[in-house]
A and B are shown apart, each in its own frame.
Chain A
Amino acid sequence: MTSLAGLIDRLEDAVAHRTPLEKEHVQAVFFLFPLMFFIVGFILMPVLGTLYDAFMRDVIFLEKEFIFFTNFRYLFSDPGFWNAVRFTLLFVLISVPLELAIGLMIALVMNETIPMRGLLRACVLIPWAIPAAVSGRVFELIYNYSYGAANWLLRVLHITTEPVNWLGSEIGAFIAVVAADAWKTTPFAAIILLAGLSAISEDLYNQARIDRAGFMTRFFKITLPLLKPVLVVTLLFRTIQALRVFDVIYVLTGGGPGGATEAVSNFAYKYFTAGDFGYGSAASVLLFVIALLLSLFYVKASRFGEA
């Protein structure tokens, strides 16, 4: 204990006798420490662990062994993996632009001075505040064949007599997953875009109005170009998030029917729970590579536009 007290004394001493700049540095280290600890302990270590595991035969019933790229070689010839990659990319391609488009519309409305704007903004955020597992379950209750809200509506409105098995076809399950995800994440896009919109000076619009620019012209000539950096950031965030989609699918379709809605994360999880950590890690690493490539592409493409 004495050494601990001594340590604290010396620490205080060190902080007290420094020039302001040095003091700031010492303080900075102090304040940065929790973050660094968190990043190293909960992000860097697991990521490196996964990378390490991807090159190992880490199966609970076999000897652990370094096997170079064998996991990857099997992955490349695994139709289940390619099916998951295909679904995940398609999911990103459809859901992200959809969420951004609807999010932009919501942001434009929320940016206007309309009555009860505060309440409206709060309401829009509700889906984002709900855990994906919960919203997945909610949508499952909507699509449920026997007692779901969607089939109830069809029956009450006399549109069909036979209930529809919404999650029963590949395309139906795909649309259901995209809808559930869009419902949940559109508010996220809307809020970020709203922040971008409110940063655009009202003067520009007033000048444009003097020049008799219509709504459309104002939108395409002022709003969109000035919003572009924020749009790219939102697109980047959403793309990375959508690539690692897991919970909505786990709850809503379980990857079915016939693996039609199985994302790469679900694929990896399946192997983790079966005790094959190496193979699951290799799939996760490949997902990371895909996310990295897409992010680089976005960043490059957006800079290209500015030049």
Chain B
Amino acid sequence: MRGPDLHTIRRRVSGRLLILLCLPMLFACGRGDAETDLVFAVGGAPSELAAWEKVVRKFEADSGISVRLLRQPANSQQQLQGLMVAMKSKQQNPDVFLMDVAWVGLFSAAGWLVPLDNLDRTPFFGELLNRTDVYDGRLMAAPVYLDGGILYYRTDLLEKAGMTRPPETWRELAESAKKVQEQMRPENPGFFGFVWQGAQYEGLVVNFLEFAGASGGIQLQDETGGVRVALKANLKALRFMRDLIWEYEISPPSTYTEMQEEEVRTFFQSGNAMYERNWPYAWTLHQSDGSPVKGKVGIAPLPAPEGEKGVSTLGGYHIGVSKYSDRKADAKKFAAYVTSKEAQRMVVLELGWNPGRGDLYEDEALLERYPHFGEFKDIFRKARPRPVIPYYIQVSNVLQTYISGALARNRSPESALEHAQIEIDSLEQRYGRNPEGGGGQLSESFPYPSFTHGEAVP
């Protein structure tokens, strides 16, 4: 009466259906990835893509290797995510890519980069290269664009403040900003003296490192390479940042809620601020036609406390070759071309961004077109990189949270730095920098002398 057992039928039919459905997928998997071009992942700005197009065409004509440009998102966090997914799944593409200088340590430690032994190190800023791109003695990446924080000022307002040169100390900055702000307020109630990047994101850490470096801080790493935040110099910096908003009231309250690069740039460019901390990219935009501040902007190194030197945090993008690339030799050849004088000059002329090679800052043709490069050179050469450690992004996340909390006055600067230090210590332990530190146990007491109970280690 009964045919074969229902279960067997069901199992058999569903098994076959499974095969049927999977067949097209197998075909799809078999194909794909058979890319013949070298794939180069670049940034997402429209002008950037056009500039690279030129470089790539020239390279193709010279070498006979065809290259496809892969556009990355404009947002740097999303760029990182995209690259990370590609690397983690060991994809053959992109073969070669641009990465933020802050990720070079992570990518090197993850073993995702092929050493660029074919590159000549001499045309680059030597110390900069050693501190960011050299990992275990080998060159893992090379700078394509350089960036460093600079101070933009309004030349016309400087006169109003009775000054003949841009401020060199924090005091000069705060006093002149306050003075001009009071004069400007009646006609422009939204005017502020000084704008900088204070929102809870990577830019906040960049700005903090500049304030901290200027107060004699150690840019986070001590001589053993450990990350140290709970330091007197950092406290001085954080207090000053908070005072800019709440005590001197020369930075808008929205500093810690909204101010990222573009917010700061547009704020200054619409004529609502006297000083601005930003990357060099803002220069060409401030001086473009239709900009209300055109011809009224000057640039200077960032100020510092009395007797100290201003410090810029190093930014920019570096080129690297993927370990999973199926065309490593061609990719290395391409990386060498991208960092060559010819290609770099092409990119700079097209974009106006700052080249990674040091020798181009003395290039007559470029200096004629971009006279401000002369001033940038010194700033970049002395710019301090963020710690080149694989867990830098985690450290930055912790710092962002606590610094933002201090700026919002949710907690005191002392408590912010002490708590950040505790979390960073825990991170270092978890990532094995300090495995015997507490045997995996978190220490209850502050690992470093607390501010309130004695002197912090300088």
Contact = CB atoms under 8 A, between A and B. Distances in A.
Given A70-B440, A74-B426, A78-B426, A168 B254 contact: yes
B267 interface: yes
Contacts of A78: 423, 426
B423 A80 contact: yes
Interface of A: 4, 7-8, 11, 14, 17-19, 22, 25-26, 29-30, 33, 37, 59-62, 70, 73-74, 77-80, 144-146, 161, 165, 167-170, 253-260, 262, 270-271, 273-276, 279
A291 B137 CA distance: 49
B405 A168 contact: no
A62 B390 CA distance: 9
Given A29-B17, A170-B410, A259-B405, A80 B256 contact: no
Contacts, number: 150
Contacts of A29: 10, 13-14, 17
B359 to A, nearest CB: 33
Contact of A260 (B12, B410, B430): B410
Given A29-B13, A258-B402, 14 more contacts: A4-B23, A14-B13, A37-B18, A60-B106, A60-B110, A61-B431, A74-B442, A77-B426, A80-B398, A146-B190, A256-B404, A257-B200, A259-B402, A262-B401
A273 B17 contact: no
Given A11-B13, A77-B442, A165 B257 contact: yes
Contacts of A273: 77, 80-81, 84, 393
A25 B81 contact: no
Given A169-B408, A254-B199, A145 B10 contact: no
B419 A79 contact: yes
B431 A256 contact: no
Contacts of A26: 9-10, 13
Interface of B: 3, 6, 9-10, 12-14, 16-21, 23, 77, 80-81, 84, 87-88, 106, 109-111, 189-190, 199-201, 252-254, 256-258, 267, 390-391, 393-394, 397-398, 401-402, 404-408, 410-411, 419, 422-423, 426, 430-432, 440, 442
B14 A33 contact: yes
B200 A256 contact: yes
A165 B80 contact: no
Given A258-B410, A276-B394, A61 B110 contact: yes
Nearest to B201: A254
